[in-house]
Amino acid sequence: MDELLEHFERTIERDQRIEPRDWMPEGYRKTLVRQIAQHAHSEIIGMQPEGAWITRAPSLRRKAILLSKVQDEAGHGLYLYAATETLGVDRAELTENLIEGRQKYSSIFNYPTPSFADVGVIGWLVDGAAICNQVPLCRTSYGPYARAMIRVCKEESFHQRQGYELLMTMMRGSQEQRDMVQDSVNRWWWPSLMMFGPPDGDSPNTARSMAWRIKRHTNDELRQKFVDMTVPQAEKLGVTLPDPELKWNAEREHYDFGEPDWAELKRVISGDGECNAERVAHRRKAHEDGAWVREAALAHAAKKKGVAA
Angstrom distance (rounded) from CA 219 to CA 239: 26
Q: In terms of CB distance, is 202 or 295 closer to ligand FAQ?
A: 202
Q: Which stretch binds ligand FAQ (CB under 6 A): 2-10, 81-89, 189-197, 278-286?
A: 189-197
Q: Which stretch binds ligand FAQ (CB under 6 A): 91-99, 127-135, 281-289, 301-309?
A: 127-135
CA dist list (Å): 170 to 175, 182, 233: 9, 10, 15
Q: Which stretch binds ligand FAQ (CB under 6 A): 84-92, 126-134, 175-183, 290-298?
A: 126-134
Query: How, if at all, do strands 247-249 and 254-256 pair?
Result: antiparallel
Q: Does 206 bind ligand FAQ (CB under 6 A)?
A: yes
Residue whose beta carbon is closest to ligand FAQ? 46
Q: Does 126 bind ligand FAQ (CB under 6 A)?
A: yes
Q: How many of the other CB atoms lie within 10 Å of CB of 152?
A: 25
**Angle formed at CA 61 by CA 57 and CA 62, multiple of 5 degrees:** 35
Count interface residues toward ligand FAQ (CB under 6 A): 29
Cβ proximity of 87 and 35 under 8 Å: no
Angstrom distance (rounded) from CA 257 to CA 177: 27
Window 38 to 67, contacts with ligand FAQ (CB under 6 A): 38-39, 42-43, 46
Q: Give the list of residues 6+ apart from residue 228 with CB closer than 8 angstroms, or none.
A: 254, 255
Window 271 to 300, contacts with ligand FAQ (CB under 6 A): none
Q: Which stretch binds ligand FAQ (CB under 6 A): 6-14, 36-44, 275-283, 290-298?
A: 36-44
Q: Give the list of residues 6+ apart from residue 131 with CB closer than 8 angstroms, or none.
A: 153, 156, 157, 160
Residues of this chain that bind ligand FAQ (CB under 6 A): 34-35, 38-39, 42-43, 46, 73, 104, 106-107, 122, 126-127, 130, 133, 194-198, 203-206, 209, 215, 219, 269
